[in-house]
Amino acid sequence: METVDEKKRGNRFYLHAFCLMDNHIHLMLSEGVEDIARVMKRITVSYVYYFNKKYKRVGHLFQDRFKSEVVEQDSHVLTLARYIHQNPVRAGIVKKAADYKWSSYDCYLNEDNCFSKILDTDTILGLFSEDRKAAVKKFEEYMSEESEESFIDLKEEVGVTDEEAARELFEKMLLERGFKNKNEVKVQLLDSVIKDLRAKTNLSIRKIAAITGLNKDKVNKILRS
């Protein structure tokens, strides 16, 4: 979020809502003096540099190019904000959007929130009422309503993140293919198992290497192929 704050200076873009999840982030932006592609490039390049330096790693960090969807109608602006704030609820992390501290939800209720200075809350609150107090109340009510909207076909799923559970899943996947262990698996099938394991768990390359007994370079090569 420090990176986002830094890159939005000079009215490059405006941030209306966000949610940080374990393996991805949702941003609701409107363009300022820069287009969305330039904005996202600034954010991701800067963050990857910071992350790699901090954790002494090299190479790519994000799996794919960012996905975006244009939202123009006021009603869609509100449903998008609700979709973003309810991400942790759909993922089973919290029961209410208000319970999750890594989103912009509380910024709309509490101007002292540490992220509030980064956010433009007027756009969304203005769609509820010109009176801020009334707008905040209506915001809370709307954000708590159950909804089934989705954007850019993103499916929020709870993956297997526990290493022991992932190890059991790996062994199960081998058995389903008729193998007792990875040494019996043909190269092509092992590649398929590794990719399936990553898709189902979203574990790091390091953890997948530890579970499968392969070295990190081998796992990385398989996942990139």
The 3-state secondary structure of the chain reads CHHHHHHCCCCCEEEEEEEECCCCEEEEEEECCCCHHHHHHHHHHHHHHHHHHHCCCCCCCCCCCCCCCCCCCHHHHHHHHHHHHCHHHHCCCCCCHHHCCCECHHHHHCCCCCCHHHCCCHHHHCCCCCCHHHHHHHHHHHHHCCCCCCCCCCCCCCCCCCHHHHHHHHHHHHHHCCCCCHHHCCHHHHHHHHHHHHHHHCCCHHHHHHHHCCCHHHHHHHHHC
Q: State whether 14 and 99 are in the same domain.
A: yes
Claim to verify: residue 79 and residue 125 sit in the same structural domain: yes
Domain that holds residue 175: 163-224
State the pLDDT at residue 189: 66
Q: What CATH number is given to the structural domain containing 81?
A: 3.30.70.1290
Q: Can you give the pTM of this predicted structure?
A: 0.65
Range in 32-46, 53-67, 148-162, 195-209 with the lowest mean pLDDT: 148-162
- The model's pLDDT over 94-123, given as tens digits with 9 standing for 90+, comes to 989 999 999 999 999 998 898 999 999 999
Pair (43, 125) in one structural domain: yes
**150 versus 141: which is more confidently predicted?**
141
What's the rounded Cα separation, in Å, for the pair 181 and 175?
Answer: 8
Q: What is the pLDDT of residues 148-200, one digit of tens each?
A: 666 654 444 444 456 777 888 888 888 887 776 555 555 556 788 888 888 77
Residue 12 has pLDDT above 80, yes or no: yes
Q: What is the pLDDT of residue 177?
A: 75
In this structure, the answer to whether residues 196 and 109 fall within a common structural domain is no
113, part of any domain: yes
For 61, the token pair is 């960090």
